[in-house]
Amino acid sequence: MQTISETRKIETQAARVHTEPGFAWDGQDAYLFDIDGTLLRDPDRIHMNSFASSIERVTGFAATLDGVMVHGSTDTAILSEACRRAGIPAEVLEPQVEAILEAMRQTVQERRHEMMLRLMPGVEDALRHLARKGALLGVATGNLEMIGWIKIEEAGLREWFRFGGFSDCFPIRSELVADAARKARELAGTNARICVVGDTPRDIEAAHANQLPVIAVATGNYSFDALLEGRPEVCASSLADLLALEGTAQS
Residue among 114, 125, 121 at smallest CA distance from 42? 114
Please give the pLDDT value at position 128. 97
Query: To which H or E segment does residue 202 belong?
Result: helix 201-209
The pTM is what?
A: 0.91
Greater model confidence, 9 or 2: 9
Is the per-residue pLDDT at 2 higher than 70?
no
The fraction of the chain above a pLDDT of 70, given in percent, is: 92
Please give the pLDDT value at position 245. 78
Length in residues, the chain: 251
Please give the pLDDT value at position 59. 95
Is the per-residue pLDDT at 12 higher than 90?
no
Domains and CATH numbers, the chain: 2-42+117-245 (3.40.50.1000), 46-114 (1.10.150)
pLDDT single digits (tens) 177-196? 999 999 999 999 999 999 99
pLDDT single digits (tens) 209-248? 999 999 999 999 999 999 999 999 999 999 999 999 766 5
Greater model confidence, 52 or 13: 52
Residue among 248, 223, 224, 220 at smallest CA distance from 235? 224
pLDDT single digits (tens) 147-169? 999 999 999 999 999 999 999 99
Q: Taking a C-beta distance cutoff of 8 angstroms, is the pair 203, 196 a contact?
A: yes
Full strand arrangement of the beta sheet holding 136-140: 2-4, 7-11, 16-19, 234-236, 214-217, 194-198, 30-33, 136-140, 163-165
pLDDT band at 4 (very low <50, low <70, confident <90, very high): very low
Please give the pLDDT value at position 248. 57
CA–CA separation, 84 and 79 (whole Å): 9
Is the per-residue pLDDT at 10 higher than 90?
no
Q: What is the mean pLDDT of the chain?
A: 92
